[in-house]
Structure formats: C-alpha cells, structure tokens
Amino acid sequence: MGDLLVRGGTIIDGTGAPARRGDVRVRNGKIAEVGENLRPEGEQELDADGAIVAPGFIDIHTHYDGSMWWDQTMDPSPQHGVTTVLTGNCAVSLAPVAPGGRDALVDMFCFIEDVPVPAVMKSVPWAWESWAEQRDVFNNLGASCNITPLVGHNNIRLAVMGQESFERAATDEERQRIYDLTLDCMRAGAYGVSLSFVDSDSKGRRVPSRLASAEEYRDLAIAMNEVGYGLLQYVPRFMRAESYIKDIDRVDAMCKGLGVPHTYAPLVAGRRNRPMAEEVLAHTRAVRAAGGRLWPQVSPRSGFDSRMVFDGSSLSFGAMPSWASMCMAQGADKVAMLADPAWREKARQEWDSPVFVLFPRKAVGKLLIGEVLQPHLKQFESKLFESVLEARGGHPSDVLAQWILDCDLEPNLVVPGSADEDRDFLGSLLAADDVLLGASDAGAHLLLFCGAGDTTLFLQRHVRERHDLTIEQGVRKLTGLNAEAMGITDRGLIAPGLAGDLTIFNLDELHYDTEKIVMDVPGGYKRFSRPEGGYRATVVSGEITQQGGVLTEARPGRMLHAGEQGR
C-alpha cells in the first residue's frame, strides 16, 4: 500500500461529472484527499500536468486465471491503464478443485481458453482445493493488477459430481452440496458465478454448466442473495437471436425476485449480424424495463481480421474433436494425424455434423490466403480459399487438411472480418448507458489475438476520433459504470476512502498498435501481446505499476474479497 501525491492533473472522477483541475493524495493505498494545490507530505509525487487523472480502468471479462501464476504483471493490461481484472469468466476458474479432479479441470480450462496445458500444469502451484486457499496462495505473490474473481460453475459441478457432471443434472443431494460449495466460495470472497450455455470440452462433450437443471441454476442465485453480493456472468448461444434470447430469459428467471445482477458476453455487433444484435438488445432492454438487472458486454474490436490458428489453439473447433485434437498436436504427430485416412474420415463426419463451432466450415472458401512460402503454391497467395477448393476438388475437410500439410503446417488463412465492421452501430452501442465495455478475453486465446488494449482502442477511436462519447463519458464507461454493474464498491471512482487505483494519460498521446508475438509462456510457447498504449502512469493502491509504458517492480495487486470491500 503506497503513499502518493498526483499533482496538477485534470481529474475525471468516473461519475461522468465535468473534468476539473486538481490533485489526488493517496495514503496507505486509499484516496485520502482530492482538491487543488495539495501540499506535499513527504510521499512520492507524480506530475500530471497536461494529463487526465482517472480512476484505474476495470476490465470485466478476462481469463488471466492461468497466466497470472507465471506472469504477475498481466502484460500488457497495466500498460493500457488497467488496474483491476475480473477473472473466472465463462464457467471456468482454477478453484475450487476436488482431490483427483485437477487434470479434468485443467484440460477443460485450457481447451476452452486456448492456454497450453503444460504451462498451466507446471506453473500453477496447485496448493489448494478450496476458494479461500487459492486466494491465500496468490496473495503471497502479488500482481500488477487487482483481481476480482468469479467462480466457474463447471468447477463447482465437477468438484461435487466428478465426471458425471458432464452427463446429467444433479440429484437433490448433489444440489445441496453444489449450493453449499457455492456459498462457501462466495463467503470466501468470490464476486459471483460464471456459466456457459455454449462451450464443449476437448472430447466434444457439453461442459458441466450446460447440464444443470433450472432448479440447480436457481440455487446459485439464491446463494448469492444469501450472502448479499455477487453477479452471474454467462456466455449465451450467440449465433442466433432465438437462442440468445432464450438464454437471457433463462438467467433472468434464475435471478427473478432475488436482486442478483447478471451480464452476458459477447453482444456481437458486426454489419452482417446487426439485425440480430438489435433484436437481442431490444429484448435485453425489455428485461431491464421489467426489473431485470441485466448488462450486455460489447468489445470495441467487433469486426477485425482474425487468423485461423491450427497450432496450439482449439477454440474454433470446440465440438469437432478430430480437428481440435489435430490443432493441439505438435510436429510429427500433427503431420501423421493430417495424413491418416482414419482421421480424415472422422474429420469429414464431424465437418458434416450439425454441431455449432466457430470455425466457418460452411464458408471455408471465403477464407483469405495470406503469404504463401512454398513456390509451387504461390498462385494461390492473396486469393480466397475457394480457389484451392476449385483447383483440387473433393471434400473441403480433406482439401483443408492437405493444404495445411502442403504449407508445412503454416497455412496462413485469415477470416476477413474487417469488411464486416460497422463502426457507427458499434459507437452507438458503446455510447449507451445500459451497455458495458467488456468481453476483451484478455489472457485467453493466446495464439488468436491479444484482448488486452480494448481500453486504448475505445478511447482512441470512439472518444478521440469519432466523438461517440465525451471524455467524461468514456472514462465512466471504463471505470464507474463497470464497477457499478459488477458490484465493485471500493474502486472505479476518484473519491476519498476508495482504493488508490489511478490511470494518468493524455488522450492525444494514446496509440493502439498491432499485436506482436512474444515467447514467454512456460514450456517454450508463444502468445500475442500488444505494445504499450502511451499511458503516462498506472497506479494500484498508491503504487506505480507502469510509467511511460515500462512496467515497474511493484506488485500491489491482490485477489480481492467481495465481502470485505472497503475494509
């Protein structure tokens, strides 16, 4: 906990109120004074002349659950103004874990979030079973960001039911144990529970969260109501408006009469699916008008070119086990699998099945072929993959498998999403008071993209360039509004008594740059990171965690306790 005086800045306090000149004093990690011309009292001083002094940014949808054990900086989130991250989203966290249940939990977490299993198995200390034990272990390390964690519904069901959690709803006796374990996690500091209605595991099975009964779902909200805090986060079936809306109604029914807030991610906002997004948002607003405490999350990255990764990332093929296992295989094993007639037959069957996957198998011909290194394939460079399908014929699964082999496992295929971007629609969503900026997925899908930096993209594009929001509205979107929606009561605003988490920046100096590959994941794995965003300083509990884009040695962040906020 640090002592700091931030002097001479323009304070934007996170409420949406007009900016004002002033100083901010942090004493023992909490804001002690806000005013003009505060006199130094021997604390560290930070000159904010020409800069905005804002509350620390809150990223409400991350998956640092695994990587925070080998990288306590949570790079590059602090370099983009983030001081607090919400982990445990999408029904997966790393606690609680029952004796003997670690391998199944890690396999599920790593498959869903695209994190290498060896990195998690080797780097996570696994010195816990309960939620409270995990928190104690992590807080002996510290971090560059605070963590407000959710507990994954998959974890709870797996801990109580074991492998049968993948097969059925809970019995009455198991429901009671699930309720008791949820209550234990909440009392130990969890900020809520996360659910998934869409994910599958590496074997193609529905994750445990998807097999719960309505009564079991309701029990989760009752547990949160009993402790007096907590929210439900969930991933809806987001490919069709009908299923989207059914999942919204399902969770709203869980929370009815209990006052439990709930949030879903993502609300997908591209040009092609704008009618669906508008229908879902209209229904969301109807639920809110009827008393539901519901918040959709939108990312400013809606509509961007994304790489198809066939090495170390299985996200795109979640319910197609053959293709998913090929993606996770390495070297000679991958080559052998792609060439194996038995694998190809099973891969074709899965390709033709009606299961939902993110990979655009019905429109694989629309993938763009990037740089081609093999001279005999150069004629396909910069063309659509349909040119390969037409030239070779046969089942598209076989054609794609052979293309990956022919390209020496580097097929360089791109989903051209930038043409689908609708910045006007996205800007209107981000400007709405009932829509949250979230769904960054920072810490997950390491070889698909770097989710960290959404804060900078939002401020640069939608505040500075497009003026969809004023700077006061933009800061509130990243701070006070996210805190309010997530039930974070001791940060998100600049006011005496609240946490001394601050972000200092000049709006004109911010820059959102292209991702870069770094090789820092344990076991020799690589990931996408992002260059720093031009922030002058990021402060957590009065300690500077980054200054001028350079991380410091300070690790004041902690895994916070929802029931002890403000203490």
Q: Quick check: 506 and 536 in contact, CB under 8 A? A: yes
Please state, in angstroms and rounded to a whole number, the distance separating the CA atoms of residues 136 and 194. 21
- Using pLDDT thresholds of 50, 70 and 90, give the confidence band for residue 218: very high
Model pLDDT, residue 417: 67
Please state, in angstroms and rounded to a whole number, the distance separating the CA atoms of residues 82 and 114. 22
Same domain, 408 and 318: yes
Same domain, 283 and 404: no
343 alpha carbon, distance to own chain's centre: 33
Question: What average pLDDT does the segment 26-55 reach?
Answer: 98
Say what angle helices 396-406 and 331-339 make with each other, to 10 degrees.
Answer: 140
Could you give the C-alpha distances from 315 to 65, 119, 328, 494, 529, in angstroms and in order? 17, 17, 10, 39, 18
Flag whether 208 is in a domain: no
Total number of domains in the chain: 2
Burial 266-286 (b: 16+ CB within 10 A, else e): bbbbbbebbebbeebbebbbe
Same domain, 381 and 351: yes
Model pLDDT, residue 313: 65
Same domain, 430 and 358: no
Please state, in angstroms and rounded to a whole number, the distance separating the CA atoms of residues 477 and 492. 10
Please state, in angstroms and rounded to a whole number, the distance separating the CA atoms of residues 197 and 237. 6
Question: What average pLDDT does the segment 348-372 reach?
Answer: 88
Flag whether 121 is in a domain: no
Q: What is the largest CA-CA distance in the chain?
A: 77
Q: What is the mean pLDDT of the chain?
A: 94
Same domain, 260 and 281: yes
Question: What average pLDDT does the segment 56-78 reach?
Answer: 98
Model pLDDT, residue 517: 87
For residue 518, the one-letter residue type is V
Model pLDDT, residue 418: 57
Flag whether 234 is in a domain: yes
Same domain, 259 and 334: no
Convert the pLDDT of each residue in 134-162 to its tens digit: 999 999 999 999 999 999 999 999 999 99
Model pLDDT, residue 305: 64
Model pLDDT, residue 50: 98
Please state, in angstroms and rounded to a whole number, the distance separating the CA atoms of residues 542 and 33. 13
Does 242 score more than 60 pLDDT?
Answer: yes
Could you list the residue range(s) of the whole structural domain that residue 397 is in?
A: 314-415
Model pLDDT, residue 360: 85
Q: Which two tokens stand for residue 478?
A: 């990243």
Say what angle helices 423-431 and 274-289 make with each other, to 10 degrees.
Answer: 10
Could you give the C-alpha distances from 189 to 105, 151, 193, in angstroms and in order? 21, 10, 11
Convert the pLDDT of each residue in 531-541 to its tens digit: 999 999 999 99
486 alpha carbon, distance to own chain's centre: 14
What is the DSSP code string of 124-167? S----SSHHHHHHHHHTT-BSSEEEEPEEHHHHHHHHHGGGGGT
Flag whether 372 is in a domain: yes
- Using pLDDT thresholds of 50, 70 and 90, give the confidence band for residue 270: confident
Identify the bridge partners of residue 307 per DSSP, sorted by sequence position: 414
Model pLDDT, residue 269: 84
Same domain, 410 and 270: no
Convert the pLDDT of each residue in 400-422 to its tens digit: 999 999 999 988 888 876 556 79
Q: What percent of the chain has pLDDT over 70?
A: 98
Flag whether 204 is in a domain: no
Same domain, 285 and 368: no
Same domain, 408 and 321: yes
Does 474 score more than 60 pLDDT?
Answer: yes
Identify the bridge partners of residue 551 per DSSP, sorted by sequence position: 546
Same domain, 249 and 396: no
CB 6: neighbour CB atoms within 10 A? 28
Q: Quick check: 71 and 520 in contact, CB under 8 A? A: yes
Question: What average pLDDT does the segment 310-339 reach?
Answer: 86
Give the residue ranges of DSSP H helices in 302-439.
Answer: 321-328, 331-339, 341-352, 386-392, 396-406, 423-431
Dihedral of alpha carbons 217, 222, 223, 229, sign: positive
* Comparison of pLDDT for 1 and 64, the residue scoring more: 64
Question: What average pLDDT does the segment 254-263 reach?
Answer: 96
Q: Are strands 525-529 and 516-521 parallel, antiparallel or unpaired?
A: antiparallel
Same domain, 403 and 351: yes
Model pLDDT, residue 449: 86
Lowest mean pLDDT among 200-209, 415-424, 497-506: 415-424
